[in-house]
Structure 1
Amino acid sequence: MKWKNAIRDYQLFLKIERGLSQNTIDSYTRDLEKLTLFLNDNEIDSSPIAIDENLVQQFIYETAKQVNPRSQARIISGLRSFFDYLVFEDYRKTNPTDLIEAPKIGRKLPDTLSEDEINELISAIDLSHPQGERNRTIIETMYSCGLRVSELITLKISDLFFEEGFIKVTGKGNKERFIPIHYNAQKYISIYIKDIRSHLTPKKGFEDTLFLNRRGNGLTRQMIFTILKNLAVAINLNKKISPHTLRHSFATHLLKNGADLRAIQQMLGHESITTTEVYVHLDKSYLKEVVETYHPRK
């Protein structure tokens, strides 16, 4: 079995059998391509079936010189998943990563913005041109609903259920969920559709896509990153932010103001409550307030 064929079959397995998003599949693929590049650079002729633990260890050792422990742990996890697939399909008897330990890493707390910083970002948007109105709507929507950037750029007009106060979002693994949307975000979306989007001619395939560029195409992930980066520069924000920062801020502010962790989990689309629990670590004062408010011995 050649690496190219094995990786292609693995990609199909991840998409069809496990229902993973294309972004996740691409991430796994990049790590496998690093392994094949390592083999080629060192003129090592070893197939996915024949490669052994020593070679994998050597690859990880070389990789560790170039990446941080978190990235190293992710690569090991990706390789383990690939070789588990080969064992599952009876191409191999053993997984060469079974005895390889990932580096211990601390739990990374997500970066967040304060409510004032979010208001500053929005205030810095130039509303004198159509893109400004669109960009304000984008940030209001992401912060109002805690969306991933991939969920934002694929949001459709037919996913808006404003009378019920919800939007329908397609998340990881094509799983759909309904999220309450704040009336402010509803207002800005309605203005954007009526005054800005109505003057655009959507390209084929984007007729129902909510957010479009000037040419009628859907927005890219990179464009959302760029919008936020430029706004951060405009207000001299001394933080490195991304679209995910708005999602983290959404969850943190809800929790801080007394929202139930399980409800936040459902809105974020986290499969496990343990993923959502990271937000508890951001503000220990929340836990203190819970005890003081609800404990019978208060």
Structure 2
Amino acid sequence: MATLSPDDLKILEYTDNLIKELPFYIRDFRIEKTKEQISFRTIHQYLYRYKIFFEWLIKEGIVDSADIKEITLEHLSKIRKKDIEYFIEHVSKEDISKEHETSRRVREMRSVSLMVSALKSLFHFLAVTSDDEQGKTYLSENIMAKVKIPVYKETSANRAAEIATQILDSNRLFDFVDYLGNDGPDGYLAKLKVPQQISLFKRDRERDIAIIAILLSTGMRVGELARITMSDINYSAQTVKITRKGNKKDTIYIIDSAFNRLLEYIAIRNTRYPQAEVCPFLFVTFRKPARAISIRTIQMFVEKYTESYFPNGVYPHKLRHSFSVAFIKNGGEMTMLRDLLGHTDIKTTSLYINMANSDKIHALNALESYLRTRP
């Protein structure tokens, strides 16, 4: 089994606690999905949604139980398609955010789709792949086979426009890395006034700059970066092994400028961070002993640093979007970008084409100028 980060261990702990609140067949479902090598993070999300579903069944009086753990297979066998449809309607009406209406509706539909997908997985297990002591499935009918996953129809241009609001100026991406490493009057250090802030930045600068440089030059997710171990680095090939969504293994090449930043960090890692040599993870925190840096810690300092350079602070996923657009603008091919980002569907990657291709905007502006100057 791969080495688990503190974030991973926390998810497993949450899952273990959650399983205690759920019926026995959910435990069997978890075992089945683990055998199928489904990511434990995905399994946790499934269980979280099942708890919401079971709570709703009790609240609506669809099952005659006051305790989630006591919801039996017989209870589930009596659920009808209309009950599922009522539940979907309930989930779709939840106030997920106060964003722009289109963005809010898209997020709601994604949430509903994930819920329906999770329930389909559960009922497929119960009615198709489960196996009781008599060699029969837990349920004789898969009610979820009658339910379609709702899809919110949206043009790729509209989705691209939504993501475009999160893009950083590609011409300034690596200037930002240099800005963090600059000790002169134009660098980040010069903006710090509080002695403790200066001390902390000097202590963690090599680590933080290496993290940001890798995020900007590879487009990898923060969770993928946080789980990199020292043994995942291939110094001669200048690559690192990472674990993608769905527990998929991948190898990522790191460009010279970012790899040099990584080497600068590795050079001071074991001497600056207490007992870092016994921690298997590449990026560590200043504790005794050193521990793997958390996803939340990375998110916090990326936002802090970007606030001082760009108009608004950004979360690391915006660095991923920014990398993708910069890659396309500089002649990168879409299939290569798909592999770099770890996408399974080329349609997802194609969104960045819309953002990188500004020709249609220039053409429309030229048309407007022409129309305005006509007699």
Specify the TM-score bucket, using the shorter chain as the normaliser. 0.7 to 0.9
Q: Distance in 2 between matches of 1:85 and 1:114?
A: 47
For the Cα contact (< 8 Å) 2:326–2:356, is it kept in 1? no
CA 130–30 in structure 1, closer or farther in 2 if over 3 Å, else same: same
Q: Distance in 2 between matches of 1:82 and 1:198?
A: 49
Confirm whether residue 190 of structure 1 aligns to residue 263 of structure 2.
yes
1:157 CA drift (Å): 1.6
Confirm whether residue 63 of structure 1 aligns to residue 111 of structure 2.
no
Aligned to 1:52: 80
Aligned to 1:293: none
1:179 CA drift (Å): 1.5
Confirm whether residue 40 of structure 1 aligns to residue 58 of structure 2.
yes
Larger helix proportion, structure 1 or 2? 2
Confirm whether residue 91 of structure 1 aligns to residue 138 of structure 2.
yes
Aligned to 1:8: 27
CA 247–118 in structure 1, closer or farther in 2 if over 3 Å, else same: same
SS at match of 1:167: strand
Any idea what the Cα deviations from partners look like across 1:164-183, whole Å, max 9, x if unmatched?
22222222333222211111
Confirm whether residue 80 of structure 1 aligns to residue 120 of structure 2.
yes
Aligned to 1:294: none
For the Cα contact (< 8 Å) 1:76–1:97, is it kept in 2? no
For the Cα contact (< 8 Å) 1:57–1:100, is it kept in 2? no
Which of structures 1 and 2 has the larger relative contact order (alpha carbons within 8 angstroms, sep 6+)?
A: 1
Any idea what the Cα deviations from partners look like across 1:105-140, whole Å, max 9, x if unmatched?
425333332224534654355474222321111111
CA 130–271 in structure 1, closer or farther in 2 if over 3 Å, else same: same
Confirm whether residue 255 of structure 1 aligns to residue 255 of structure 2.
no
Which has the higher Rg, Structure 1 or Structure 2? 2
CA 134–203 in structure 1, closer or farther in 2 if over 3 Å, else same: closer
Number of aligned residues = 284
Confirm whether residue 219 of structure 1 aligns to residue 259 of structure 2.
no
What letter is aligned with 2:305?
L
How does the TM-score come out when normalised to structure 1? 0.83
SS at match of 1:129: helix
| Structure 2 portions without partners, runs of 5+ | 1-20, 64-70, 97-107, 130-136, 181-187, 190-197, 362-375
Q: Distance in 1 between matches of 2:248 and 2:359?
A: 31
1:259 CA drift (Å): 1.2
Aligned to 1:230: 304
Deviates more, 1:180-189 or 1:269-278: 269-278
Aligned to 2:67: none
1:35 CA drift (Å): 0.5
1:100 CA drift (Å): 4.3
Which residue, out of 148, 169, 181, partners 1:114? 169
| Structure 1 portions without partners, runs of 5+ | 289-298
1:203 CA drift (Å): 6.9
Q: Distance in 2 between matches of 1:115 and 1:27?
A: 34
SS at match of 1:62: helix
Any idea what the Cα deviations from partners look like across 1:44-67, whole Å, max 9, x if unmatched?
326344322222222222222214
Any idea what the Cα deviations from partners look like across 1:37-88, whole Å, max 9, x if unmatched?
2123334326344322222222222222214223222222222222222232
Q: Distance in 2 between matches of 1:60 and 1:189?
A: 47
SS at match of 1:178: strand
CA 214–104 in structure 1, closer or farther in 2 if over 3 Å, else same: same
1:285 CA drift (Å): 3.8
What letter is aligned with 1:228?
V
1:97 CA drift (Å): 5.7
Q: Distance in 2 between matches of 1:11 and 1:287?
A: 49
Aligned to 2:245: 172
For the Cα contact (< 8 Å) 1:162–1:186, is it kept in 2? no
How does the TM-score come out when normalised to structure 2? 0.67
Q: Distance in 1 between matches of 2:127 and 2:32?
A: 13
Say what the alpha-carbon RMSD is for the aligned residues: 2.8
SS at match of 1:11: helix
For the Cα contact (< 8 Å) 1:137–1:185, is it kept in 2? yes
Q: Distance in 1 between matches of 2:79 and 2:248?
A: 36
CA 27–118 in structure 1, closer or farther in 2 if over 3 Å, else same: farther
